[in-house]
């Protein structure tokens, strides 16, 4: 039997994130998760947010691992994982009034981050939410020494990766008619950014 993929970071951050999502998603019906990764967040969040439908997505190579978590969760409000690749995004395959994405902006190349924000925003209804979790730089500076080391590691692996500047991300969001509602401090030098479609 194939072993489920596991991320210690997902295990560590799932409860702090869920606390915020319970508050933010009270009126949400369908969540599109972009870059579900291991599938841990989808499997943990959906059973505790039973009023909404959670749709996990990722590149094709990650779907098998996500499905192991989806099957174990056995939640009626958790969809079968589907392909959503920012190089060829098929937005029209999905219906959603909120978007959630964790630890993707520093992994995707910057043009793909722009595609993610603009594409998702275009499909969001008015007042729809875009929630993005991860580390960000502010005013051109790292928020911690550990983030600086992490950024150096990312860029060493792939020069297209790296911690993004909050101001650039928010600029993309504004251009897509997303208005910043909250910038929430999270554990381990991460942030939870919340935009609303106007």
Q: State the CATH class of domain 8-197.
A: alpha beta
Q: Where are the alpha helices (DSSP H) in the chain?
A: 8-24, 40-45, 63-73, 110-123, 145-157, 166-175
Q: How many other CB atoms are there within 10 angstroms of residue 114's CB atom?
A: 18
One pLDDT digit (tens) per residue for the chain, 198 residues: 579 999 999 999 999 999 999 999 999 999 999 999 999 999 999 999 999 999 999 999 999 999 999 999 999 999 999 999 999 999 999 999 999 999 999 999 999 999 999 999 999 999 999 999 999 999 999 999 999 999 999 999 999 999 999 999 999 999 999 999 999 999 999 999 999 999
Provide the whole-model pTM.
Answer: 0.98
CB 187 within 8 A of CB 177: no
Q: Within 13 Å, how many C-alpha atoms sit on residue 195's CB side?
A: 27
Q: 161 — phi, psi (to 5°)?
A: -90, 165
Q: What ranges do the domains of the chain cover?
A: 8-197
């Amino acid at each position: 039997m194939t072993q489920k993929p596991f991320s210690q970071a997902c295990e560590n951050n799932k409860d702090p994130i869920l606390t915020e999502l319970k508050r933010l998603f009270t009126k949400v019906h369908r969540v599109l998760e972009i870059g579900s990764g291991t599938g841990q967040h989808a499997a943990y969040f959906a059973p505790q947010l039973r009023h909404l439908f959670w749709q996990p997505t990722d590149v094709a190579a990650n779907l098998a691992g996500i499905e192991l978590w989806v099957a174990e969760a056995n939640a009626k409000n958790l969809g079968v994982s589907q392909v959503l690749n920012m190089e060829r995004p098929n937005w029209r395959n999905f219906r959603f009034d909120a978007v959630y994405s964790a630890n993707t902006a520093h992994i995707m190349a910057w043009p793909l981050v722009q595609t993610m924000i603009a594409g998702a925003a275009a499909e969001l209804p008015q007042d729809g939410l875009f929630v993005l979790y991860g580390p960000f730089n502010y005013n051109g500076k790292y928020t911690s020494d550990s983030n600086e080391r992490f950024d150096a590691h990312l860029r060493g692996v792939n020069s297209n990766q790296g911690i993004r500047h909050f101001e650039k991300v928010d600029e993309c969001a504004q251009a897509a008619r997303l208005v910043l509602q909250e910038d929430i401090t999270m554990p381990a030098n991460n942030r939870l950014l919340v935009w609303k479609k106007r």
